[in-house]
Amino acid sequence: MIRIADMEIDVETARLLGHEYCVKYVVFPFRLEDEHLWVALRDIKNMDILTNISDITGCFVVPVAADEGDILFHVNRIFGADALHSIASQFLVDEQLKNHIESSEILTEISSAPAVRLIDSLIETGVLNRASDIHIEPYGQQLRARYRVDGQLITYSTVDITLLPNVVSRLKIMGGMDISEKRLPQDGHFTMTDSNFFAKGDKVDFRLSTLPTVFGEKIVIRLLYGETSYIKKEALGFYDEDLKKLTALFNQPYGAIFMTGPTGSGKSTTLSSFLRELNHETSNIITVEDPVENPILGISHINIERTGLNFPGALRHILRQDPDVIMIGEIRDEETARIAIQAAITGHVVLSTLHTNDAAGVIERLTDMGIPSYLVAAALNGVISQRLVRRICQDCAYPTTLTQTQAQLLQLPVHTPVQLGRGCSHCNHTGFRSRFAIYEYIIINENIRRQISSQPSKFAEGIRSLQGLRNNAVRALIDGKTTADEIIRALSRENLAGEV
Ligand SMILES: [Zn+2]
């Protein structure tokens, strides 16, 4: 059995038999050499299909066994991208027509229609695949579209570069941005509801950002799936006994809790899930963010950019508004850290994220910022550090053991039983479905407060030697929740995290 992704695929050859035929017989031709046609199929002994393909193409068929899901995924990838190409080619025809038309009004109408359909198609596919981001990027003569699904970027299609100006203009209009500004990066957003490809009542927010590159403007669209994307704390990936302790931690009447982890580690999502829990009529919750990521009804979110204030400035105003809970998107400077610690000591719950490698790093970072260790000790209630890993699809999981390299990297025995996903129709043939957190945390008690206060670096060293994140990751691996490669990737990112 082969994995088609490991093969060299010739796109022309892949189209040889047509979409319908490939789906009906579950076949995928991918290479043609000297009248030998390599075809991936479920049952390589099915002489009827082999003869039939040979008759149609006039080639000698080289059958290769592959998984049904794998075959269909690649068939749909090739022909799905074709739909984009047909829109793109319509645009090229329109471009030629344009030379004969004088009226600028008609001109805009004609040339924008294919761009509209192209963007609709990109957005639709993105939403259906639950992509978190869509990248539209010019490269030389090509315009490439990629999706980020479960944390991984997947190339969807490339079309001719001539579409770029119309695509960019259309998106800028949708995002309320300045279409004449092409030299500076811009941000924008728009919302879609109840479209044909959305579930009823579904709402998707699109955050756009443009960046001028040497080939033209690159656009990244972040997709935020409204209420449906809100992850209940039970689904974040915490083990039951840990979730109990963390829930108690977030329900303390005052004190600071810091989340840490590299960009894309899901720290804001976790914070947001717990913040929802604290959202009662009886409490005043104010957040200050850059920008607001997950707006929650009943909470006062402040977008720092719109206020013209900096974080310390905004925080001083917030403190005059009698808050119970303050969430600070990220602490980046000493002054913000100082105000946050002060607020935690004076009876507020303060939640924030800090960019450090691990949980212990938070204590070091705060003291490095010049905050005396006795204040850090007094203010802190807890620290959580996390990474996101992909969850193995339960519909196609199968048992296996570690490879030699994986075993060495993870310092586990080679015969350790683990799981992998084969890929099926439930998981878009990736073997994964959704993501969850691997994590470590410190809950500060009186004993720990004393240690932080007197010897903060020694305490941090001690915590680090426990390898909490690594041990939690290995537990998730042995429980069959994720793969060894996912964990190796997530853990090795640790070393890079500090440099971002
Ligand atoms: Zn699956």
**CATH code, 250:** 3.40.50.300
Q: Is residue 210 part of a domain?
A: yes
The answer to whether 265 and 353 have CB atoms below 8 angstroms apart is: no
Question: Which amino acid is present at 433?
Answer: R
Place of tokens 């500076």: 184
In order, the DSSP letters of 160-200 are EGGGHHHHHHHHHHHTT--TT--SS-EEEEEEEES-TTSPT
Q: Is residue 365 part of a domain?
A: yes
- Is the pTM above the cut of 0.75? no
Q: Is residue 325 part of a domain?
A: yes
Residue 105 has pLDDT above 60, yes or no: no
Read off the pLDDT band of 226 (50, 70, 90): low
From the CA of 469, how far away is ligand 1's center (Å)?
Answer: 27
Instruction: From 215, 494, 166, select the one nearest 356 (Cα to Cα).
Output: 494
From the CA of 414, how far away is ligand 1's center (Å)?
Answer: 25
From the CA of 70, how far away is ligand 1's center (Å)?
Answer: 10
Instruction: From 183, 250, 266, select the one nearest 217 (Cα to Cα).
Output: 183
Q: Dihedral through CA 63, CA 69, CA 70, CA 71, nearest 10?
A: 40
Residues with Cβ–ion distance below 5 A, ligand 1: 393, 395-396, 424, 426-427
Strand order of the sheet with strand 203-213?
Answer: 152-160, 142-149, 133-139, 216-224, 203-213, 186-193
Residues 253 and 365 in one domain: yes
From the CA of 120, how far away is ligand 1's center (Å)?
Answer: 28
Can you give the pLDDT at residue 108? 46
Can you give the pLDDT at residue 410? 92
Can you give the pLDDT at residue 498? 34
Q: Is residue 302 part of a domain?
A: yes
H or E, element range at 303: strand 300-303
Residues 384 and 399 in one domain: yes
Read off the pLDDT band of 90 (50, 70, 90): low
Q: Is residue 109 part of a domain?
A: no
Read off the pLDDT band of 205 (50, 70, 90): confident
How much is the average pLDDT of 160-173? Answer: 88
Q: Is residue 265 part of a domain?
A: yes
Selected residue with higher pLDDT from 242 and 145: 242
Show the domain range for 162.
Answer: 115-226
Judging by beta carbons within 10 Å of its beta carbon (0-12, 13-18, 19+), is residue 264 exposed, middle or buried? Answer: middle
Count of domains observed in the chain: 3
Residues 370 and 446 in one domain: yes
Can you give the pLDDT at residue 235? 86
Residue finishing a domain among 200, 226, 252: 226
From the CA of 398, how far away is ligand 1's center (Å)?
Answer: 10
CATH of the domain at 125: 3.30.450.90
∠ CA 200-202-207, nearest 5°, is 150
From the CA of 395, how far away is ligand 1's center (Å)?
Answer: 5
From the CA of 427, how far away is ligand 1's center (Å)?
Answer: 4
When the pLDDT of each residue in the chain is averaged and rounded to a whole number, the result is 85
